[in-house]
Amino acid sequence: MKRLFNLGVLLLTVSLVLISCKKKSPVDGSDIKLVASETTYLGDFFGKNTSVYDLYLLDDKFESSPKENKTGTVLYFDISGPAGNSEIQPGEYRATTDRKAYTFQRGERVLNKDNTYSTYGSYFEIWKNGEIVEYRIITSGTLIIEKSGNYTVKGIITTGDNIPHRFTYRGVIDKFDASPWPETLSKGEIDYKGRVDGENAERNMFNIYLASDDVNLSDLSGDGDILVIELYAPINIDNSIVNGKYVVEFDTKKSMTIMDGFQYQDDNKNYHDGGTWYYTSKKFPIAEGEMTVDVNGNNYNLDIRFVTETGMKIERVINLNMQTYYSASAAKNKPAKRVSRDLNRNNIRKKADSPGTRNLSNDRVNNQRVIVR
């Protein structure tokens, strides 16, 4: 099973040495000891034929502080390596913005529409009492990764205030795999959500749930992958999904379409996922693509050709016998009102959630369901 590959206990430490000092900050000086490291593998996250990783280096204060009250410093690198490798590969990685193999992404601060800032790329995180109180973006530098038993990670990087830092790390790197495994999708169910308004006429709304063996479809609990597809089909006599090609569209109002992945707020200002999403220990909103459906009774042949918001492909041809349910509370639904798509992009490049953590927006859990076919 994918997830955590624990290679052992870190035995060695590393110090971060300031080369030139222009002003004092939590990452200045030579007394920071980085005592733990981990990577999260995200697959070909940007669709550029590369392997993408989150690399974290944690200092002694951060690692030793309580989980709910973290204090210390974390170095984060957004790394692109050669395609097809779940483990980060040895080599020299340079700071760029092109996301080619053997690079790491330069840090960037972006002003959002609500006048708040988001931080992307590579950076220092300064934590205090369980919160990040400062980001220091990494604007240039070189990262060298070597492996001979344990790892060595070393280099010189410069932060946004033009202060260069030299560091060397030797030790074990814990590994997580958050990449989609669509080949593990082996079972499914369909929820008929009722009729909803469309561009020119009403249409039938369905949620298709595809999951791996370790997932409980009744409440979507478990430790495997899940693909949730929000599909709109023409009205027919038995309220079933009709054969044909369904195209992913942004905020679709048409039949023969699939709703793209988005987020919305409920009455209590809590955020939920709507539309079409792929879930591992991370979540990936589907932004474009298509699915061809061939139905014969309860047997469904699905040819899935999806692309995530960042460009990663989710592809699978699957043949399943799937039961269709009618969600009794869902008659005359209205599609959820979306919020800014920036929320998806902001959330998706964070450290992996705990396996199995999902924020699905549906009424499957503790809801009356009636089999209709």
Taking 70 as the threshold, does the pLDDT of residue 2 lie above it?
no
As a whole number of angstroms, the distance between CA 69 and CA 334 comes to 41
Q: In this predicted structure, what is the pLDDT of residue 26?
A: 52
**Residue 165 confidence class, pLDDT cut points 50, 70, 90:** confident
Q: Is the pLDDT of residue 192 over 50?
A: yes
Which residue has better confidence, 372 or 246? Answer: 246
pTM here is 0.78
The rounded distance, in Å, linking the Cα atoms of 234 and 325 is: 18
Which residue bears the tokens 């984060």?
Answer: 76
Q: Which residues of 207-246 are buried (b: 16+ CB within 10 A; e: fewer)?
A: bbbbbbeebebeebebebbbbbbbbbbeeeeebbbeeeeb
* Residues 107 and 139 sit within 8 Å (Cβ to Cβ): yes
* Least confident window among 1-5, 41-45, 68-72, 181-185: 1-5
Q: Which is higher by pLDDT, 302 or 22?
A: 302
DSSP string for 250-282:
TT--SSSEEEPPEEEE-TTS-EEEES-EEESSS
Cβ–Cβ < 8 Å for 32, 15 = yes
- Rounded mean pLDDT, 344-363: 34
Predicted local distance difference test score (pLDDT) of residue 25: 53
Among 17-26, 182-191, 360-369, the least confident range: 360-369
Q: Find residue 148's DSSP bridge partners.
A: 150
Question: What pLDDT, on the 0 to 100 scale, is given for residue 28?
Answer: 53
- Residue from 221, 177, 184, 172 nearest 4 by CA: 177
More confident site: 100 or 34: 100
**What is the band of 27 on the pLDDT scale with cuts at 50, 70, 90?**
low
Q: What is the pLDDT of residues 295-339, one digit of tens each?
A: 999 999 999 999 999 999 999 999 999 999 987 444 444 445 444
Mean pLDDT over all residues of the chain? 82
Mean of pLDDT values over 83-87: 93
Residue boundaries of the structural domains of the chain: 4-177, 182-371
